[in-house]
């Protein structure tokens, strides 16, 4: 009993001693590390970027103009073909026979016309003699004989006219037969160079006039790129064309708007062209206007119809813009913003939330830069080249919370040329 009492007393003493010791203070967390750089003011070409697609200048559906059995195919599926190149041959034998028959019919009609003309000449001579006798008077020629010779001459004239009409009909039939025989050979009609699809009909099949698509040919060089331009951009460009005279009139073929395109696997916009068509109306369903650029596509004809491309179109004269790396711009619902490094109330470096209004994203030296047009809000602080903008570590930043800042040089120096590419 005494031993248990002593154990309880010792335990209470140990607890009392432990409660009397002060705990070590917990060190505050280190401020998060962020990378910042200064915005750069640079002169940029004024253009707007769009997403578009490519389309061939010509798309030809090859159809037969005569009916018959397919005899020969002169190409391999997917070949490059040129204008006038033979593609198919339809069995010409029945059309050759029809041509020979029409030719013989023309020759016979021509012979009949010559015979009718000769009879007309003889009949005219007989009638002229009869008319001369009748004018002299007397009974050498009866009125009945005179009327007979006149009727013979008139009949000969009619026969001659009928023979000429027969020649016309025979020559028309010959022309049709020649047309059919010629069109037994089907040729490429695409201008320049095109790529042919697989043949949709093989040898020995019956081909009907205009009913069967045999294959398709798409032209390759040049090639179109189509984009849909939003209404606001369209109206702004119209003002720059007709009011400010900053852009060339698209109706003037000697001075065209410049445009460039790049594919998904390419950096920038390495391919230059011109705008050659602007749609006449705004599509009400989408609020856009169709615009087309034309681009050279020399061998090996890398670009084809249907491919998605990025297109940028000249929309103004070069101007100065403030830019930051695209990664520095965050999005909060519909609001774009950046974090600017300032001093908080305690004099510590911290981030300030700054809403901004952005322009297009520009590709400079393989780096995507965001154009900052202005800071959102009336009387709001404006971003300047002296500010330090967070470009790495946005997720670790909270407004007013201290941060450790690592300032780096601009990702793309200000002197870097911003060319069409």
Say whether both 292 and 235 belong to one domain: yes
Say whether both 134 and 278 belong to one domain: no
Of 354, 279, 285, the residue nearest 324 (C-alpha): 354
Contacts of 108 (CB under 8 A, 6+ apart): 170
Alpha helical stretches, state H, 67-92: none
The answer to whether 293 and 259 are in contact (CB under 8 A) is yes
Distance between CA atoms of residues 223 and 57, nearest Å:
6
Say whether both 277 and 261 belong to one domain: yes
Domain finish residue from 199, 219, 239: 219
Domain finish residue from 156, 183, 210: 183
- Per-residue pLDDT at 21: 52
Of 327, 390, 384, the residue nearest 353 (C-alpha): 390
In a domain, 308, yes or no: yes
Say whether both 264 and 190 belong to one domain: no
Q: What CATH code is carried by the domain that includes residue 78?
A: 2.40.50.100
The answer to whether 270 and 421 are in contact (CB under 8 A) is yes
Domain finish residue from 200, 219, 238: 219
Say whether both 275 and 349 belong to one domain: yes
Say whether both 131 and 275 belong to one domain: no
In a domain, 124, yes or no: yes
DSSP sequence for 298-326: -TTT---TT-EEEEEEEEEEEEEEEEEEG
In a domain, 347, yes or no: yes
Say whether both 291 and 227 belong to one domain: yes
Distance between CA atoms of residues 178 and 172, nearest Å:
10
Q: Tokens 């069409």: give the residue.
A: 420
Question: What residues are paired with 15 via a beta bridge?
Answer: none
In a domain, 28, yes or no: no
Say whether both 51 and 115 belong to one domain: no
Say whether both 340 and 380 belong to one domain: yes
- Per-residue pLDDT at 3: 52
Distance between CA atoms of residues 242 and 237, nearest Å:
9
In a domain, 47, yes or no: yes
In a domain, 125, yes or no: yes
In a domain, 165, yes or no: yes
Structure token digits, residue 333: 């619902």
- Per-residue pLDDT at 15: 47
The length of the chain is 421
Distance between CA atoms of residues 331 and 370, nearest Å:
13
Mean pLDDT by runs of 10 across the 421 residues of the chain is: 49 49 67 90 84 92 91 92 91 90 85 77 75 71 76 79 81 88 90 90 88 89 93 87 82 83 86 89 89 92 91 84 90 88 84 87 80 71 89 87 88 61 43
Number of domains in the chain: 3
Question: What residues are paired with 82 via a beta bridge?
Answer: 193
Say whether both 199 and 298 belong to one domain: no
Q: Is 342 exposed, middle or buried (0-12, 13-18, 19+ CB in 10 A)?
A: middle
In a domain, 11, yes or no: no
Pairing assessment for the beta strands 33-37 and 404-407 based on DSSP bridges: parallel
Say whether both 120 and 153 belong to one domain: yes
Range of the domain at 246: 34-56+222-407
Long-range pairs for 241-248 at CB < 8 Å and ≥24 separation? 246/316, 246/317, 247/314, 247/315, 247/316
- Per-residue pLDDT at 419: 44
CA angle at 248 for the pair 323 and 230, rounded to the nearest 5° = 60
Where b means 16+ CB within 10 Å and e means fewer, 175-203 reads: eebeebbebbebbbebeebbbbbebebee
The terminus-to-terminus CA distance of the chain in angstroms comes to 95
Say whether both 143 and 271 belong to one domain: no
Distance between CA atoms of residues 193 and 60, nearest Å:
12
Q: What CATH code is carried by the domain that includes residue 244?
A: 2.40.30.170
């Amino acid at each position: 009993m005494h031993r248990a009492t002593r154990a309880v007393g010792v335990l209470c003493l140990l607890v009392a001693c432990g409660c009397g010791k002060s705990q070590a203070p917990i060190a505050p967390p280190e401020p998060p590390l962020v990378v910042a750089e200064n915005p750069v003011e640079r002169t940029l070409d004024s253009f707007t970027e769009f997403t578009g697609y490519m389309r061939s200048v010509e798309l030809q559906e090859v159809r037969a103009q005569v009916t018959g059995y397919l005899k020969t195919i002169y190409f391999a599926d997917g070949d490059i073909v040129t204008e006038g190149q033979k593609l198919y041959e339809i069995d010409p034998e029945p059309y050759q026979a029809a041509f020979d028959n029409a030719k013989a019919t023309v020759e016979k009609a021509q012979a009949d016309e010559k015979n009718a003309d000769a009879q007309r000449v003889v009949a005219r001579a007989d009638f002229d003699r009869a008319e001369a006798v009748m004018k002299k008077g007397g009974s050498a020629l009866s009125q009945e004989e005179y009327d007979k010779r006149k009727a013979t001459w008139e009949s000969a004239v009619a026969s001659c006219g009928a023979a000429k009409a027969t020649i016309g009909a025979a020559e028309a039939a010959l022309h049709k037969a020649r047309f059919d025989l010629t069109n037994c050979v089907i040729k490429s009609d695409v201008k320049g160079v095109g790529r042919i699809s697989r043949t949709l009909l093989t040898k020995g099949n019956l081909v009907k006039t205009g009913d069967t698509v045999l294959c398709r040919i798409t032209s390759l060089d040049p090639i179109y790129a189509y984009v849909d331009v939003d209404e606001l951009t369209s109206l702004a460009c119209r003002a720059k064309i007709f009011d400010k005279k900053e852009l060339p009139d698209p109706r003037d073929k000697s001075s065209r708007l410049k445009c460039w395109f790049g594919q998904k696997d390419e950096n920038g916009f390495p391919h230059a062209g011109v705008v050659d068509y602007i749609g006449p109306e705004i599509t009400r369903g989408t609020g856009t206007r169709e615009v087309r650029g034309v681009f050279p596509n020399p061998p090996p004809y890398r670009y084809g119809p249907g491919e998605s491309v990025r297109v940028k179109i000249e929309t103004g004269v070069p101007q100065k813009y403030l830019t930051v790396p695209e990664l520095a711009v965050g999005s909060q619902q519909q609001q774009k913003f950046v974090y600017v490094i300032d001093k908080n109330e305690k004099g510590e470096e911290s981030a300030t939330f700054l809403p901004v209004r952005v322009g297009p994203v520009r590709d400079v030296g393989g780096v995507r830069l965001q154009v900052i047009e202005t800071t959102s809000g009336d009387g709001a602080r404006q971003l300047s080249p002296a500010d330090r903008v967070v470009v790495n570590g946005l997720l670790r930043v909270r407004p007013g919370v201290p941060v450790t800042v690592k300032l780096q040089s601009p990702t793309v120096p200000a002197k870097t040329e911003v060319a069409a590419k």
